Structure 1
Amino acid sequence: MKAVVYSRTGGPEVLQLVDREVPSVEAGEVRVRIAVSGVNPTDWKSRAGSGDGRELDVEQVPNQDGAGIVDEIGLGVTRFAVGDRVWVRDTAFQRPTGTAAEYTVLPDHLVNPLPDGVSFDVGASLGIPALTAHRALTARDAGPARLSPGSLAGTTVLVTGGAGAVGHAAIQLAAWAGATVITTVSSPAKAALAAAAGAHHVIDYRSEDVVARVNDIAPGGVETVVDVNPLENIDDDVAVVARGGTIAIYVSGEPDGIPVPARASMTKNIRFQFVLTYTTSEAEKSNAIAAVSAAAAAGALEVGEGHGLPLVRFALTDTAAAHRAVEDGAVGKVRIDVAAL
């Protein structure tokens, strides 16, 4: 089989296309033939490491997310049959078995059924982006543990960076769950994407006063903020969040420290929730998987420019270019077409 690997950390040039034996399947495992591999910022950051060119103990296949079909199952696996359409998650987290390969073998709990009618492109978006968004939207103490239609009815959510992959998923999931969704973007083109994703109110933070606009829309404050850039947004977040609300943060930026307005946060009894989907609890992960699968089945997590998330496609042979595109801030979702299934 063809696979992309790296044996030391560094720039995209460390990624190499190689021939490997198709991996065998042990008890409790599932072999998936990958149709589409998704590339997220976490993938290039893992590949880059700390910048010291560290040699790896085990050759690594990159990319956490993907979708495809079950090719073989191991002893004891009862959830799947050969030929089932599936999406996979966390495939390269503390494992060498990412999705930038024609086949990957995973424990069956990392493999999930892809609902009927849901494309492989959507399936390759249900890992890092959608699971992160779900945890951010359910972090509020008074909110639901699992999103469903109507579960956020009567609430208002602010999503910063609504044209990004996690922001896009947060808009879609919040709207599906019945929230009023406000989002911020940096250009008219990104505003159009956020609106296509389902945001009810779109604010261009480069030309508009975010706090004033949000206060006009939600005078009592927003119950949840989903924030991609707290270094820039923290003061505005605190200003617009409701008393007892939650600010969910999934990227901190550099430098890593975030100066928090302590007294204003105390006065409102604000909760700050940092989100890393890899290390959420089993209950949180289970709820997220169930909810995003249901949302996908309902057509609420579609991708493509018409749905607010353009797809930027690469071949497996061009995985280095795909990583470079994400690292350079490509607008939309970067996809690697691994096999036509």
Structure 2
Amino acid sequence: MKAAWYENVGLADAVLVVGHMATPEPSAGEVLIRLHASGVNPSDVKARAGKRAGGSGMPFPRVIPHSDGAGIIEAVGAGVPESRIGTRVWIWNAQWGRAYGSAAEYVALPANQAIPLGENVSFETGACLGIPAVTAAHCVMGDGPVKGKTVLVSGGAGTVGRLAVQIAHLNGARVIATAMNPEDMERAMAAGADVAINFTSDNVAEQILEANRGNPVDRIVEVEFGVNAEINAAVITERGSVVTYGSALSMRPELPFYSFLFKGVNLEFVLVYLLNEKERQLAADHVNAALTNGLDIPLHATYPLEECAKAHNAVEGTGRIGSVVVVID
């Protein structure tokens, strides 16, 4: 099969190679997927660059990158129903704890890591679901229904944030989003936010409360936990939840502990790779339901497999709006 891989960490143009290697065989409990698209996430490029938190070296002698992708099941291992052959699927965790991810013509994965993909959903869209959409769905819906509640989405124009805005809106929540400039505020509003607030303002907490008719919010989906901890403590309701998946600008944050404590706030730190089976299935169901109801996943750019390095450079560059996908047709 054709694949992209690296055997040393470093710059994409220096370490990524495209060539041929043996096609995998599905083991017991696995499916073999002919991939048509592979999503490129920031975590993928950080791992390739040797800059990923928690580990900066080569976890395996050779790595085929990327966790997300979409394609068609071509074969199944023992114990997997043959009826799954021919099914369109999107995948998750292809390269988490494994050497070979989705930047290849084929991948063999445990059968539960292949989620049905609707006939009306493109493979390019399907390749953007595993990390960003599942993260968004779990952050919004992980504790139960949000209908009639107020959800604050930090960074509502970002890849995960914009998906969180849509999922919260589609599930009946009142959505307040923060964004960094008028253009991003417009993007958040177009995604379904009821109110968008510029997070560079001096009085963000006051604006959030005013936008919710003076009431605190029920749930916060947070992309920059450390930077926004004080704001979150000020606007969250008693027994509310702050669910965070990032804190890149404040890696060792100081917390307003007693402000959270005396509201009995639930703090949840989300690493999408570590969701348990129940959490994962619930999030995947919400993602597929949102797709049925018009979930919009903009693409910034697509690249052929031979230009995998360019795809990595696009994710690492500035001004990206939407997902980057490697097409493997």
TM norm. shorter chain > 0.5: yes
Contact 1:70 1:80 in 2 (8 A): no
Deviation at 1:64, TM superposition (A): 0.7
How far residue 26 of structure 1 moved from its aligned partner, in angstroms, is 2.4
Aligned partner of 2:279: which letter?
E
Aligned counterpart in structure 2 of residue 244 of structure 1, from 232, 239, 242: 239
Match of 1:307 in 2: none
Mapped to 2, the partners of 1:116 and 1:90 lie a distance apart of 22
Counterpart-to-counterpart distance in 1, 2:98 and 2:92: 12
- Distance in 2 separating the partners of 1:210 and 1:322: 35
Distance in 2 between residues matched to 1:248 and 1:56, nearest whole Å = 29
Over 3 Å counting, the alpha-carbon distance change for 1:73 and 1:128 in structure 2 is same
Q: Which residue of 2 aligns with 1:315?
A: 304
1:163 CA displacement: 1.5
Contact 2:216 2:235 in 1 (8 A): yes
**Equivalent residues of 1:229, 1:252 under 8 A apart:** yes
Amino acid paired to 1:312: A
Residue 2 in structure 1 maps to residue 5 in structure 2 = no
**Cα contact 2:154–2:221 (8 A) shared by 1:** yes
Question: How many residues in Structure 1 have an aligned counterpart in Structure 2?
Answer: 324
CA–CA distance in structure 1, aligned partners of residues 83 and 297 of structure 2: 26
| Counterparts of residues 130-141 of structure 1 (less than 5 Å) | 130-139=133-142
Give the Cα separation in 1 of the matches to 2:51 and 2:128. 26
The whole-number CA distance in structure 2 between the counterparts of 1:202 and 1:159 is 9
- Structure 2 partner of 1:21: 22
Distance of 2:249 and 2:182 partners within structure 1: 26
Alignment partner of 1:94 is 2:97 = yes
One-letter code aligned to 1:234: A
1:179 counterpart = 2:169: no
C-alpha distance in 1 between matches for 2:137 and 2:72: 25
Give runs of aligned pairs for residues 1-341 of structure 1, distance below 5 A.
Answer: 1-12=1-12, 13-50=14-51, 54-78=57-81, 80-139=83-142, 143-144=143-144, 151-207=145-201, 209-218=203-212, 219-299=214-294, 301-304=295-298, 310-329=299-318, 330-339=320-329
Q: TM-score, normalised by structure 2?
A: 0.92
How high is the sequence identity, in percent, across the aligned residues? Answer: 36
Residues 7 and 56 in structure 1, CA contact (< 8 A), matched pair in contact too: no
Letter of the structure 2 residue corresponding to residue 19 of structure 1? H
Q: How much does 1:221 deviate?
A: 0.8
In 2, the alpha carbon distance for the partners of 1:49 and 1:255 equals 20
Deviation per CA, 1:174-197: give whole Å up to 9, x if none. 111110111111122222221222
The question of whether the paired residues in 2 share the 8 Å contact of 1:303 and 1:311 is answered with: no
Q: Which amino acid aligns with 2:222?
A: D
Secondary structure of 2:146's partner?
coil
Moved over 4 A (4+): 50-53
- What TM-score does the superposition give when structure 1 sets the normalisation length? 0.89
8 Å Cα contact 2:76-2:82 kept in structure 1: no
Alpha-carbon distance between aligned partners in 2 of 1:53 and 1:133, rounded to the nearest angstrom: 26
Calculate the aligned-residue CA RMSD, in Å.
Answer: 2.0
> Which letter does structure 1 place at the counterpart of 2:160?
V
Q: Structure 2: which 5+ residue stretches go unaligned?
A: none
Equivalent-residue separation in structure 1 for 2:249 and 2:201 (angstroms)? 24
> Deviation string for 1:149-183 (max 9, x for gaps)?
xx311101111111211111111111111101111
The answer as to whether partners of 1:65 and 1:90 remain within 8 angstroms in 2 is yes
Cα deviations by residue, 1:223-259 (Å, 9 ceiling, x for unpaired): 1111111222111111111111111110121552111
Q: Greater CA deviation, 204-213 or 235-244?
A: 204-213
The amino acid that maps onto 1:320 is A
Structure 2 vs 1, CA of residues 293 and 235 (structure 1 numbering), >3 Å: closer, same or farther?
same
Structure 2: how far apart are the matches of 1:82 and 1:282?
A: 23
Q: Partners in 2 of 1:179 and 1:119 — Cα distance?
A: 28
CA distance in 2, matches of 1:28, 1:131: 23
Could you tell me whether the CA contact under 8 Å between 1:163 and 1:332 is conserved in 2?
no
Deviation for aligned residue 1:31: 1.3
Alpha-carbon separation, structure 2, partners of 1:331 and 1:208: 26
Amino acid at match of 2:322: G
Per-residue CA deviation, residues 297-341 of structure 1 (Å, 9 max, x unaligned), is: 232x2222xxxxx432222122112112212342211111111xx
CA distance in structure 1 between the partners assigned to 2:274 and 2:58 by the alignment: 25
Query: Would you say the 8 A contact 2:220–2:232 is kept in 1?
Result: yes
Displacement of 1:201 in angstroms is 1.1
What letter is aligned with 2:177?
T
